[in-house]
């Protein structure tokens, strides 16, 4: 079983509950009140909480359901609930409760009214170490109340948020020591006033929209030395109004507690004026281009690649490449500010200094293992140790290295990578400090040594933000390394963290973010960043992009110039109107609001009342009545943009649409454009049906359950599709799919129950209740495989899909597939017999033949329910060239004139059409497809076609696959898209076939490439290949097209990120049969 799943299950199985002294008698509720609040406690849990300022009740009684009040020892929580194995003896009265467990653990908790707050303090003791932490818990937060967590850049758990279990460790994931419970008219600020730098953990459990929370004070490691622990002071404080009021209360406390005004007063003025960051290469010519587009004095150039040893290698050696100095000089001469990338606690084990600091390498508080950064996708792998910054010697070394660097080059700022990584070190205190305090000391000492140099950090929390003028922000739900994301998790993003940290710290985009040429991935970043107040950030720019893709970059530069000209800053000083995602204050007294309007638009309102549109992204609509254009989009009429996918985001420009160019001018009402483009004498159209996708089960918002069924007959169900069970069976969302691990933890109880190890322990399942439409053809479909890392360690998993009516449990429809590899195999189930009904769709994973499920890392990719009719419908195109013919997968499509330069095509929906704009010549066989005329396009997930660029090209090459070198056509796909190589052929009457071999070049670390051969847009051969395999033969019979004109397409799909997707077609040719 993989580490992520193991950690999740350990956390889940460790959380037991404190709610009653015994099964016979539940403890009574003790009620307390103070100015503005009324609270009820039961056995140490805060089970009732009413805001008397607004009359709202924000916590109600209920089972703790995964959170508890009690003492944490190792990874377990001692419990005192009904049925608990070791129930304590409870005593106390009023706001005091004491619990004594048979094993010698003791807990004392007091709750008192102090000022306008309810104050909670705890003390824990054990008879013998270890003691990890002490915590108190809430009862149930109703689904109508939002939980706002300043964690992972800011999250909101409210209506629509997924169920699940979260733990936020302070300060890495829990960035500031508070939470807001927000009702309709007011809420509660739950916070700690700790200034000593103590570790804490926030536990959040969400089921059926109802949340449960626990607040833990954690001991400094090593836990084996801890027998007594006093908690921090926790305050529960009511407020009236929106979440901005709760944030204001904490922000004003932090401003005073951390002395932020004095820190800001010492900063040079230029730091406050930066309104754009460009993540830049060492390209001096690019500097000249940027200086023409941006205000250099208000632009920070962040340089990751400047060191002689390469990115993240040989820390703490900061020797630069020769070109770094001249580049810095030119950047400064143009007025830019320069910021190189360094690492605040990294030490390469191959660096001579490692042995000196080895004893200070951070160790995990539970496993005691040394902590490293390991990036094994590089060759050779990148690895460095994490040295605890509490070490005075390390801080002295690092500060001296930074002073030398800044003395040698004209540097304005230092980006300190991984400053968010503040761990509870098993080594214990070093030089009198824990890691948190050492991190703070390093920042403070750097600022003292380099008062005119700004500091930047990765991530942000209330430790690092004190001395950091700039900071990058991560985005929860987006995996930048693999280039995938979950829209449902991104939708949790909220400004709660930014309301504390800005404008003291200026936030900019993460090093791993995409730039505007990255289509869907870039838009995913923007959807999250909408809520954080990120200044315009342009990542990984090169001159080719400026020259070839300027249309996509233009909106960014317009937005950046606006931020620089107006000096826009986040504004949390006054209530935001409904519908405002984020508000900025302008230097001229105006404001700018980010609001929803046929997508998202940034609208500036000047002091005289005039307004202007700064930036727009189209999303969430199928048509948009706007005057401008979407770069590359070829479906529109005089009034509207057409055929948009509501699930996609599109860059918008104010430039009007070209009504004389080729475009689709009329579509069926439910049509979605999946691909359209014109190359030479060929136009391609692919349409989807917006109503065809009934449900995405990996992002399902309806009723769902999950659980395990053990082979002894035991079944345990959980009120969510995502769960963790003590057997090891678990379900988690993963990159457009569901990770569904069968039970694997075999216990003595299983042996006593007579479970046959050869059969495994049981199965994991998830169930969804889906209302099926009354359409002729309905199906479930998914791709199933093992996750990376399990190949060769598992004999595979058996995946089963079944369905039955929700109202009656009749014999289910069933389909089953076994897979022991990483290449997805299709799992399909015909649901047509259930049309018009509410159905239960159940997905299961079973262990492989050996019954050993430890590495059965079963992944169900893009499970969904689809309903299609494919009835022919009319599509009208405007084409300056005459449409000679329209071709579909089944043959020619009807084409009729529909006015001046307009043509109506009857085509299925969903379906594809290839329009010929000239008659092709005869094709002579054999035809070498490496040298034959071809048309090449890159097609993004948003359906927009782009010309080949960079290494996403189709070109002849000598390619080696499986140690065998052949003459080939290289077809590297674009990121999150496909490369399509089209051949327009007039086949002879003689039957013909396509012959080729495909593969991924040796040395690739690709996650896999999808290969396809299409005729007139319809698939005739499909494969998903991974690197490390020999050439795979391809033969496609073309005899049914003898004597016809066809468009033959060779397709390579990145299937997500395109890293190492070295796809090649060896010796492709068309020959006579």
Each domain of the chain, given as residue ranges in start order, spans: 8-257, 620-682, 693-868, 927-1072
| Separation CA 930–CA 386 (nearest Å) | 50
Q: Which pLDDT score, from 0 to 100, does residue 733 have?
A: 83
pLDDT for residue 268 is more than 50: yes
CA distance from start to end of the chain: 50
Arithmetic mean of pLDDT, 758-764: 81
Return all residues near 292 (Cβ < 8 A) that are at least 6 apart.
none
Confidence band, pLDDT 50/70/90 cuts, at residue 712: confident
Is-contact 925 1032, C-beta < 8 A?
A: no
| C-beta atoms surrounding 725 within 10 Å | 23
pLDDT (average), residues 969-976: 94
Is 8-257 in CATH node 1.10.10.10? no
CB 191 within 8 A of CB 238: no
Give percent above pLDDT 70 in the chain: 95
Q: Specify whether domain 693-868 bears CATH 2.60.120.260.
A: yes
pTM score of the predicted model: 0.90
Least confident of 98-107, 268-277, 967-976, 1007-1016: 98-107
Closest CA to 987 of 1045, 934, 1072: 1045
- Average pLDDT for residues 835-861, to the nearest whole number? 95
| pLDDT at site 927 | 98
- Does residue 754 carry a pLDDT above 60? no
Least confident of 88-97, 393-402, 957-966: 88-97
User: What are the φ and ψ backbone dihedral angles of 43, each rounded to 5 degrees?
Assistant: 50, 40
Lowest mean per-residue pLDDT among 387-401, 506-520, 557-571, 740-754:
740-754
Q: Which two tokens stand for residue 280?
A: 């830049």
* Arithmetic mean of pLDDT over the chain: 92
pLDDT of residue 4: 37
Average of pLDDT values for 697-702? 88
Banded pLDDT at 8 (limits 50, 70, 90): very low
> Which residues make beta-bridge pairs with 618?
599, 650
The more confidently predicted of residues 55 and 1073 is 55
Residue 118's φ and ψ, nearest 5 degrees, are -90, 125
**Residue holding tokens 């590089």?**
378
Share of the chain above pLDDT 90, in %: 81
Q: Which residues pair with 229 in a beta bridge?
A: 124
DSSP designation for 648 = S
In this prediction, residue 905 carries a pLDDT of 98
Main-chain phi, psi angles of 900, to 5 degrees: -60, 120
Question: In this predicted structure, what is the pLDDT of residue 85?
Answer: 60
pLDDT in tens, 597-637: 999 999 999 898 899 999 999 999 999 999 999 999 999 99
- Specify the range with the lowest mean pLDDT, choosing from 24-38, 457-471, 642-656, 863-877: 24-38
In this prediction, residue 868 carries a pLDDT of 84
Where residue 757 falls among pLDDT bands split at 50, 70, 90?
low
Q: What is the mean pLDDT of residues 575-599?
A: 95
Mark out the alpha helices in 428-530 (DSSP H runs): 435-449, 487-490, 498-501, 519-529
| 299-335 residue pLDDT tens | 999 999 999 999 999 999 999 999 999 999 999 999 9
Of the pLDDT bands very low, low, confident and very high (cuts 50, 70, 90), residue 7 is very low
Cis peptide before 171 (omega within 30 of 0): yes
State mean pLDDT over 137-151: 97
CA gap 151, 523 in Å, rounded: 22
How confident is the model at residue 483, as a pLDDT?
A: 82
Give the pLDDT band (50/70/90) at residue 95.
Answer: confident
Residue 1014 neighbours by CB under 8 Å, 6+ apart: 1020, 1048, 1049, 1051
Task: Say yes or no to pLDDT of 66 above 70.
Answer: no
> What's the pLDDT score for residue 1056?
82
Sheet holding 977-986: strands in order across?
Answer: 945-946, 935-940, 977-986, 1045-1053, 1009-1015, 1018-1025
Buried b (16+ CB within 10 A) or exposed e, 172-191: bbbbbbbbbbbbeebbbbbb
Q: What is the DSSP string of 211-267?
A: EEEEEEEEPPSPGGG-SEEEPPPEEEEEEESSHHHHHHHHHHHHHHHTTHHHHHHTS
User: May I ask the CATH architecture of the domain 927-1072?
Assistant: Sandwich (2.60)
Nearest to 456 by CA among 433, 436, 473, 441: 473
pLDDT bin (cut points 50, 70, 90) of residue 756 is: low
- Each residue's pLDDT tens digit, 776-818: 899 999 999 999 889 899 999 999 999 999 998 788 999 999 9
pLDDT number for residue 726: 87
Number of C-beta neighbours around residue 462 at 10 A:
21
Quote the pLDDT of residue 18: 32
Q: Which residue has the tokens 């048309």?
A: 935
Name the β-bridge partners of 382: 375
> How many C-beta neighbours within 10 Å does residue 839 have?
25
Say how many C-beta atoms besides its own lie within 10 A of residue 350's C-beta.
11
Contact present, 217 and 229 (Cβ < 8 Å):
yes
Write the pLDDT tens digit of every residue in 336-362: 999 999 999 999 999 999 999 999 999
Kindly indicate the confidence band of residue 179, based on its pLDDT and cuts at 50, 70 and 90. Answer: very high
* Angstrom distances, CA of residue 392 to CA of 357, 389, 797: 11, 7, 51
Span 647-687, pLDDT tens digits? 899 999 999 999 999 999 999 999 999 999 999 999 999 99
Between the CA of residue 69 and those of 98, 136, 139, what are the distances in Å?
A: 11, 4, 10
- So what's the pLDDT on residue 84? 47
CB 138 within 8 A of CB 45: yes
Do 8-257 and 927-1072 agree at the fold level?
no
């Amino acid at each position: 079983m993989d580490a992520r799943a193991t950690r999740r299950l350990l956390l889940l199985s460790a959380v037991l509950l404190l709610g009653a002294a015994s099964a016979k008698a539940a403890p009574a509720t003790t009620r307390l009140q103070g100015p503005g609040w009324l609270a009820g406690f039961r056995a140490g849990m805060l089970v009732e909480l009413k805001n008397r300022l607004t009359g709202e009740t924000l916590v109600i009684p209920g089972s703790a359901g995964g959170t508890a009040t009690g003492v944490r020892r190792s990874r377990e929580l001692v419990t005192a609930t009904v049925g608990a194995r070791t129930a304590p003896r409870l005593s106390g009265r009023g706001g005091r409760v004491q619990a004594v467990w048979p094993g010698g653990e003791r807990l004392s908790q007091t709750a008192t009214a102090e000022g306008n707050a309810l104050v909670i303090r705890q003390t824990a003791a054990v008879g013998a170490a270890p003691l990890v932490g002490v915590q108190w818990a809430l009862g149930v937060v109703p689904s109508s109340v939002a939980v706002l967590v300043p964690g992972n850049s800011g999250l909101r758990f409210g209506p629509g948020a997924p169920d699940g279990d979260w733990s936020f460790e302070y300060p890495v994931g829990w960035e500031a020591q508070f939470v807001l419970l927000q009702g309709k008219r007011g809420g509660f600020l739950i916070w700690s006033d700790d200034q000593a730098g103590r570790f804490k953990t926030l536990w959040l459990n969400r089921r059926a929209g109802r949340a449960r929370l626990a607040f833990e004070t954690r001991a400094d490691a090593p836990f084996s030395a801890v027998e007594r622990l006093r908690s921090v002071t926790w305050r529960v404080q009511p407020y009236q109004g929106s979440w901005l009021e709760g944030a204001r209360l904490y922000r004003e406390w932090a401003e005073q507690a951390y002395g932020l005004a004095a820190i800001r007063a010492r900063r040079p003025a230029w730091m406050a004026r930066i309104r754009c960051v460009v993540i830049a290469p060492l390209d001096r010519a690019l500097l000249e281009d940027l200086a023409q587009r941006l205000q250099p004095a208000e632009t920070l150039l962040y340089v990751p690649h400047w060191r002689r040893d390469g990115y993240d290698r040989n820390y703490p050696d900061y020797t630069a490449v020769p070109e770094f100095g001249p580049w810095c000089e030119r950047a400064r001469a143009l007025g830019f500010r320069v910021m190189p990338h360094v690492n605040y606690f990294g030490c390469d084990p191959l660096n001579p200094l490692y042995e000196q600091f080895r004893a200070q390498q951070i160790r995990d508080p539970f496993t005691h293992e040394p902590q490293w950064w390991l990036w094994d996708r590089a060759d050779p792998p990148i690895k460095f140790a994490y040295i605890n910054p509490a070490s005075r010697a390390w801080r002295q070394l690092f500060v001296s290295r930074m002073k030398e660097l800044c003395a040698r080059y004209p540097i304005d700022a230092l980006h300190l990578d991984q400053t968010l990584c503040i761990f509870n070190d098993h080594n214990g205190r070093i030089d009198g400090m824990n890691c948190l305090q050492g991190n703070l000391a390093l920042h403070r000492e750097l600022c003292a040594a380099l008062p005119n140099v700004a500091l930047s950090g990765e991530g942000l929390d209330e430790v690092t933000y004190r001395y950091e003028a700039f900071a990058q922000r991560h985005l929860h739900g987006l995996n930048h390394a693999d280039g995938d994301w979950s829209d449902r998790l991104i939708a949790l993003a909220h400004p709660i963290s930014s309301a504390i940290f800005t404008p003291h710290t200026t936030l900019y985009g993460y090093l791993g973010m995409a730039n505007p040429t990255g289509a869907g991935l870039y838009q995913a970043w923007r959807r999250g960043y909408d809520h954080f107040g990120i200044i315009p950030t342009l990542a990984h720019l090169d001159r080719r992009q400026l020259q070839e893709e300027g249309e996509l970059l233009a909106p960014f530069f317009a937005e950046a110039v606006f931020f620089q000209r107006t000096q826009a800053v986040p504004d949390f000083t006054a209530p935001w109107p409904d519908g405002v995602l984020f508000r900025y204050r302008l230097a001229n007294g105006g404001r700018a609001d980010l609001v929803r309007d046929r997508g998202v638009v940034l609208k500036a309102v000047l002091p005289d009342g005039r307004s202007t549109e700064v930036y727009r992204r189209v999303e969430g609509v199928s048509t948009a009545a706007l005057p401008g254009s979407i770069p590359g989009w070829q479906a529109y009429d005089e009034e509207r943009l057409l055929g948009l996918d509501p699930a996609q985001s599109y860059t918008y420009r104010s430039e009007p649409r070209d009504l004389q160019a080729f475009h689709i001018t009329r579509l069926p009402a439910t049509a979605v454009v999946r691909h359209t483009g014109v190359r030479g004498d060929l136009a391609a159209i692919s349409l989807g049906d917006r109503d065809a996708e009934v449900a995405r089960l990996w992002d399902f918002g309806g009723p769902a359950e999950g659980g395990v069924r053990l082979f002894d007959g035991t079944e345990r169900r959980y009120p969510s599709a995502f769960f963790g069970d003590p057997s090891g069976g678990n379900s988690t969302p993963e990159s457009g799919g569901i990770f569904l691990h069968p039970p694997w933890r075999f216990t003595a109880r299983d042996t006593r129950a007579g479970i046959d190890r050869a059969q495994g322990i049981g199965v994991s399942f998830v169930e969804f209740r889906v209302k099926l439409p009354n359409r002729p053809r309905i199906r479930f479909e998914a791709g199933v495989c093992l996750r990376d890392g399990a190949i060769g360690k598992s004999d595979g998993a058996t995946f089963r899909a079944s369905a039955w009516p929700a109202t009656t449990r009749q014999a289910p429809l069933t389909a089953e597939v076994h897979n022991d590899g990483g290449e997805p195999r299709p799992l399909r189930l015909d649901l047509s017999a259930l049309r018009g009904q509410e159905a239960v769709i159940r997905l299961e994973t079973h262990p492989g033949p050996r019954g050993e499920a430890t590495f059965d890392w079963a992944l169900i990719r893009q499970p969904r329910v689809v309903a299609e009719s494919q009835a022919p419908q009319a599509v009208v195109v405007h084409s300056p060239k005459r449409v000679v013919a329209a071709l579909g997968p089944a043959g020619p499509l009807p084409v009729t004139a529909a006015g001046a330069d307009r043509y109506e095509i009857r085509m299925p929906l969903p379906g594809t059409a290839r329009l010929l704009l000239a008659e092709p010549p005869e094709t002579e066989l054999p035809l070498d497809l490496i040298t034959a005329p071809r048309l090449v396009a890159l097609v993004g997930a948003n359906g927009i076609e782009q010309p080949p660029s960079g290494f996403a090209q189709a070109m002849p090459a000598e390619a080696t696959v499986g140690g065998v070198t052949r003459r080939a056509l290289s077809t590297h796909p674009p990121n999150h898209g496909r490369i399509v190589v089209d051949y327009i052929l007039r086949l002879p009457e003689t039957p013909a076939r396509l012959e080729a071999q495909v593969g991924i070049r040796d040395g690739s670390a690709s996650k896999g490439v999808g290969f396809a051969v299409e005729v007139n847009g319809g698939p005739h051969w499909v494969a998903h290949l991974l690197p490390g395999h020999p050439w795979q033969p391809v033969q496609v019979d073309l005899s049914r097209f003898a004597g016809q004109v066809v468009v033959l397409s060779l397709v390579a799909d990145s299937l997500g990120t395109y890293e190492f997707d070295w796809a090649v077609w060896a010796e492709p040719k068309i020959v006579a049969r």
